[in-house]
Amino acid sequence: MDETSLAILGISAFFLSYAIFLLVAYKKDPRYQLKYERNQSFYKIAGLSVLNRVILLSLLLMFAMLANRKPEEVFSFRGYNAVIETVLGVLAGFLIFFLGVAVNMLIQIFRLKFSRGSTLREREVLKITLGTKPMAFTDFIMVLSVTTLFSGILEEIVFRGYLLNHLLLLVHPSIAILVQAFLYFIPDLYRGTYGALLTLYRGIMFGVFFFLAGSLLTAIIAHLISDLAGLYVEAKSIRKILVKQVKD
């Protein structure tokens, strides 16, 4: 089977796995349907988020094995110089974060001008995410950091290592990067369009650096660095919300 046929087969497997991933997320994650559950907790939400991505990766791995393809080939597990790729990933991560701050400011300005602040869906999602039981700030940050790191690694393997790697064999790089970023953006729409736009920006940037560096490790490091920087900045606002939750 030639390279193009393998890429088409790989893309077909992705869309089937992706549809199952979205269905499971919609049915099991209460944030998608804004469904309140008894004893709702942040820990359950965080666990579901990671589990959904594990399911997606597992399905892709299963399809690869059925097609008798090697995981390192399918998921871009290749490296040239780990030190250089890591340094590039760190630099890319900080660049993505700082540009993201500017992008987020533009989104917020646009939103305030046309929709006057946060939407009802965003407020409801935040309420469901935090759960009904008060949490200690340190516990919240620790769990959020761990789940964010796991999710970041899984997302890079799936959307850049697998999806973008296959798309680049079929279409122009600019189209491939935009398509994978859009598919990366869709699962975040539960937060509302404005809330998910930053995910679209990040998906484009991660795709660009994966393509330029030719390295999944660079994309993973960039994702983790930008996420950790974002968590550090958001820690103060998160602390205020949790303190208010405890007092109430």
pLDDT at residue 246 in the model: 47
Residue found by looking up tokens 């399918």 in the block: 74
pLDDT at residue 44 in the model: 83
DSSP-assigned states of every residue in 21-67:
HHHHHHHH-HHHHT---TT-BHHHHHHHHHHHHHHHHHHHHHHHHHT
pLDDT at residue 216 in the model: 94
Alpha carbon dihedral 72, 14, 143, 233, in 10-degree steps, equals: 90
Average pLDDT, the chain: 86
Measure Cα distances from 66 to 63, 167, 170 in Å: 5, 20, 22
pLDDT at residue 88 in the model: 95
Residue 40: CB atoms within 10 Å? 17
Low-confidence ranges of the chain (pLDDT < 70): 1, 38-39, 115-118, 131-135, 137, 235-248
